[in-house]
Amino acid sequence: MIDDDRRMIRQRFSAAALRYAELADIQAAIARGLTQKLDVRGACVLDVGAGNGAVAEDLLRAGGRVVALDVARGMIDAGRLRLPQAAWIQADACALPLRSGCLDVVASASAYQWVHDLPCAFSEARRVLKPGGILSAVMFSRGTLMEFFQSLERAAAVLEKPLPFLRYLPAEAEVRAAMMSAGFKAFKLSTEKRTTAFSTVTALLGWLKGIGANSLARQFYWGKGLLALTEKEYRARFAQGDKLRATFDLVWIEATA
């Protein structure tokens, strides 16, 4: 199951690489927030889950020497075209192909939520950092798009339609436990909520597919009845004017090796 999940994530994000930049507005906004907090002048920096290179570009502009890592081949290819100055590596965050103690900073924006083993990923980040090195990351957590998932589950229950396995994002407590096990000298977590709105459930689903983040199984068939009832439940409980509110829960991580 884990191998299948990892393969699906790689495939989804590879397929989304060409349109990711034009669709991922909220990801771009939190990436800017992350890089604005960092002083990387002269530092050797690893960007975990580099995607198409938005974070890596800011880090280079700020004077860092950047290694950009992503699990998806399509993202690596798009990133290299956009930002050949960075060193691009296709690898898993749980198995960093870098020697211990070689980095000053590990940065990551909206990527760690997709990692299958957070304690392992954070331990790897700690391993490759020099003593006193910094991990600075932001990730989506459990409450993200809760309006959509609650509406879907209520609609499915009414129609007695079984749902496929849904991969829920890590809760803050899981992130904290993973950080505690990773061996950092000190760390701090903070949380934030951001909201946006979509015109319809179909628009939301199209956006998720476009950025590679659709967590519903490929073989899942919506059907008109379930889609319509999900829209109805959503509007009844989470309308924002004529649109549908969508919440994104963020966990910000600051840690010292």
- pLDDT tens for each residue of 28-41: 888 889 999 999 99
| Burial of 141: CB neighbours in 10 Å, binned 0-12, 13-18, 19+ | buried
pLDDT category, 9, cuts 50, 70, 90? very low
Q: Structural domain boundaries of the chain?
A: 2-144+167-196+249-256
What pLDDT, on the 0 to 100 scale, is given for residue 1? 42
Average pLDDT over residues 216-228: 74
Q: What are the backbone dihedrals phi and psi of residue 145, each rounded to the nearest 5 degrees, phi first?
A: 60, 35
pLDDT category, 215, cuts 50, 70, 90? low
What pLDDT, on the 0 to 100 scale, is given for residue 48? 98
String of DSSP letters for 90-133: E--TTS--S-TT-EEEEEEES-GGG-S-HHHHHHHHHHHEEEEE
Average pLDDT over residues 91-103: 97
Of 167-171, 231-235, 238-242, give the lowest mean pLDDT range.
167-171
- CATH class entry, domain 2-144+167-196+249-256: alpha beta
What pLDDT, on the 0 to 100 scale, is given for residue 209? 79
Q: What is the dihedral of CA 8, 125, 49, 245, to 10 degrees?
A: 90
Encoding tokens for residue 50?
């580099």
pLDDT category, 227, cuts 50, 70, 90? very high
Q: Residue 21: is its pLDDT beyond 80? A: no
Q: Residue 54: is its pLDDT beyond 50? A: yes
Q: What are the backbone dihedrals phi and psi of residue 119, each rounded to the nearest 5 degrees, phi first?
A: -55, -40
Q: What is the dihedral of CA 6, 26, 252, 116, to 10 degrees?
A: -10
Rounded CA-CA distance 169/167 in Å is 7
Q: What are the backbone dihedrals phi and psi of residue 10, each rounded to the nearest 5 degrees, phi first?
A: -60, -45
- pLDDT tens for each residue of 132-177: 999 999 999 999 999 999 999 999 999 998 887 666 799 999 999 9
- pLDDT tens for each residue of 182-213: 999 999 999 999 998 999 999 998 888 776 66
Q: Residue 76: is its pLDDT beyond 60? A: yes
Beta bridge partners of 194: 248
At 106, the amino acid letter reads: V
Mean predicted lDDT score pLDDT of the chain: 87
List, in order, residues 6 or more apart from 144 with CB less than 8 Å away.
113, 169, 247, 248, 249
At 148, the amino acid letter reads: F
Rounded CA-CA distance 38/104 in Å is 11
Average pLDDT over residues 212-239: 81
Rounded CA-CA distance 28/158 in Å is 37
Query: In terms of Cα–Cα distance, which of 71, 55, 62, 47 is closest to 125?
Result: 47
